[in-house]
Structure 1
């Protein structure tokens, strides 16, 4: 069946939101599955996390070429490849018989999943009638994916074994891809609202270079925080939280999901603050607040630890709208896609080193105390560097809707 009618805006948003949700669910299945594989395969938590490193690396580094191909070929075509390809390799990963086969599967998942962020954002911008609302809704779906991945993985693992934790989401993603191919038509033409090459505010070259040098550091540090925190949280709760302990991995997954769901509201809070206050101040303030929260988490257990985890996720998510507005503010319009692509390379690619380092730190020290001190150090580094960001024009005017990534990247 072919469809020559351009993609309808409402239909485009439904598929792009589902695709964003699947993206974060699929990329966060393994940290929960690893809790079972520690016993089944006799590998340490750190060794198991190392199997996923190349997948997380590909997830970030392949974003730039994926966006480049979409710009020169078709966002719809790349969306189809993303849904069908990610679904296929995720399903096949459930058949892995050895750690190395699992590593190949996880790497393939990261490679196909890398397509979504540059292509999905472009797909929304190309087809949405109200871009601001569409991008905001899309960010919420991504955050929900981050929040529910643990409970999906734990429920499937407890009920039918860890292989189903890959097979079921993979099959759903693939089926959605088939529906997408059958019921969407060619890309719509993207309207151009301003001449390319015009920055959001008037800045000289030195300000732009300084801003992006600072943001390169802060976005990389934020990526280390987000990736390390999300892959560590299931293990942290399994060791330090006795609530629902009798429920096994399902109890752990439920607690992780509850903590991250509470934190998910940070996207909305951050957007509200970025529209009404200095973007730079909101960005800096969130990471100043994160420092004591991370330090406390190194000492807390049980319910206080769960509450602190929710607060840390809330603060992290709240920083993302301001961060994205800063990128847009210091970037000429014609470079937005490349600027966000570079952000994904730093926050998802370079910062993927956080995944094996988190496991190594846990295995070498036997606890997550130093891990949380490292999060505090990264947050302090971001706050210090952010103080040197340039200020120009009205920051309220600069707080325009932009692609939401980060915790929901």
Structure 2
């Protein structure tokens, strides 16, 4: 296959996988509103069943990167597609808390494959790093955005079981198409368009520590906000809304995050990464604080600002790995990056349940705003140490 054709197809299927990855993980947080009514269990009990899924989502990112070096990235992405299909199909048959917990755990294991593998594949095959990372972020965010609205629509019209089964069919078809149309990782030993040497930095050890802390804190804010969003709107908007409208409002908030990722991707090819990082990160504690103190339109405004920040950060941190980590180490670096971010974020579920029990979503949002402040405290010194004196701000082939 022509290398250009292979790269083009790979980027397309990596983007589709990103959308499906976030979609399938966020089916349950919306479907649980319908499941609770059918099973007669409260929200806190049911939402806690997904803890294993979100812990596995981070925990298994690390071995996924290791296995990919032996099985190949293309084969691992195929396993992601088909594994998520199987787990979603299993969830459509669940009838007890134990069954839900088990299938959700399996979904978390398979969905963990995407980020370390897909990110490394995208960086290898991207024609322009910032632009392609931005579009990849849009696909992922649109998957997250669609999950609330689509799940609510299917649950209301066809039942919550089909809200899992139909996405399972989509994953299976997409996986089969990927394995048929993308036959390899690429030409062995070829030099990627994004295989420029890593940019030099001052105080690399300190920069690594700050980056790690920002990833850990970002994982908590990401999952607390995205998982709880439908319930926050349902409980704090100040209106009694049907499930379909609640899911649709959550989708609108997510869409703003998608648009932000596209804009941030464009900026990455033009402006200092640490400078963009500081600006985007500052919006998280501001938005979460506004949402925690407000209701109605003020609540939606705060949640939108928070979502803009949270999803913008994802694109920037991926670009930092691509720019500051040597090409030979990127798959492992992406694995560690997502291992840190998603493993700690798995504890967002019991954290939501605990804080919600203490004072509702005002407490949940207030505590999450404080965690967002930790990211900002890490981002500011990163601005000082991320660039080595006299070093070019961007690799030559990316500056165009």
Shorter-chain TM-score above 0.5: yes
Shift of the 234–194 alpha-carbon distance from structure 1 to 2, 3 Å rule, reads closer
Aligned partner of residue 182 in structure 1, secondary structure = helix
CA distance in 1 between partners of 2:397 and 2:351 (Å): 36
| CA distance in structure 2 between the partners assigned to 1:126 and 1:81 by the alignment | 20
Q: 1:149 to 1:128 in 2, by over 3 A?
A: same
Q: Could you tell me how far 1:398 is from its partner in structure 2?
A: 6.4
Please say if 1:384 is aligned against 2:377: yes
Question: 5+ residue gaps in structure 2?
Answer: none
Q: Which range is displaced more, 340-349 or 249-258? A: 340-349
Q: What SS does structure 2 have at the residue aligned with 1:213?
A: helix
Provide the rounded CA distance (Å) in 2 between the counterparts of 1:128 and 1:159: 40
Tell me, yes or no, if the aligned pair for 1:279 and 1:399 is still in contact at 8 Å: no
Deviations 1:150-192 (A, max 9, x none): 0111011101111111111011111222222333323322632
Give me the whole-angstrom Cα distance separating, in 1, the residues matched to 2:30 and 2:301.
Answer: 20
TM-superposed deviation, 1:10: 2.8
Out of 194, 203, 216, which is 2:212 matched to? 216
Equivalent residue number for residue 264 of structure 2 = 270
Calculate the TM-score normalised by the size of structure 1: 0.88
Cα deviation for residue 236 of structure 1 reads 0.6
- 1:306-385 equivalences in 2 (<5 Å): 306-365=300-359, 367-385=360-378
- Over the residues paired in the alignment, what is the CA RMSD in angstroms? 2.6
Distance 2:397 2:317 in 1: 12
User: How big is the shift at 1:127?
Assistant: 4.4
CA contact (8 A) 1:94 1:163 kept: yes
Whether 1:304 and 2:303 are equivalent positions in the alignment is no
Post-superposition Cα deviations, 1:306-360, rounded to whole Å, max 9, x if no partner, equal: 2221121112222333333333444333222222211101111122111221122
- Alpha-carbon deviation of 1:8? 2.8
Tell me how far apart the structure 2 counterparts of residues 331 and 75 of structure 1 sit (CA, whole Å): 19
Give the Cα–Cα distance (whole angstroms) in 2 for the partners of residues 98 and 327 of structure 1. Answer: 41
Hey, what does 2:232 align to over in structure 1? 236
- Residues 321 and 296 of structure 1: is their aligned pair in 2 closer, same or farther, counting only changes over 3 Å? same
How many residues are aligned here? 392
Task: Assess if the C-alpha contact under 8 Å between 1:208 and 1:331 holds in 2.
Answer: no
CA separation of 1:83 and 1:336: change in aligned 2, threshold 3 A: same
Matching residue of 1:50: 48
1:88-131 CA-to-partner distances (Å, cap 9, x unmatched) read 11111110010110110111111111111122223334445555
CA–CA separation in structure 1 for the residues paired with 2:221 and 2:133: 24
Cα displacement (A) at 1:257: 0.1
Alpha-carbon spacing, 1:229–1:14, altered in 2? closer, same or farther (3 Å): same
Provide closer, same or farther for how the CA distance between residues 302 and 121 of structure 1 changes in structure 2, counting only shifts above 3 A: same
Question: Aligned pair 1:397/2:390, yes or no?
Answer: no
Structure 1 residue 132: Cα displacement:
5.0
> Per-residue displacement from partner, 1:347-391 (whole Å, max 9, x unpaired)?
1112211122112211332x1011111121111111122233214
Task: List aligned pairs for 1:4-403, cutoff 5 A.
Answer: 8-128=6-126, 132-189=130-187, 191-192=190-191, 198-201=197-200, 203=202, 207-242=203-238, 245-246=240-241, 248-365=242-359, 367-389=360-382, 390-393=385-388, 396-397=393-394
Q: Which of structure 1's runs of 4+ aligned residues deviate more than 6 A?
A: 4-7, 194-197, 398-401
Q: Does the CA contact (< 8 Å) of 2:223 and 2:345 recur in 1?
A: yes
CA contact (8 A) 1:208 1:330 kept: no
- The SS at the match of 1:265 is helix
Using structure 2 for the length normalisation, give the TM-score: 0.90
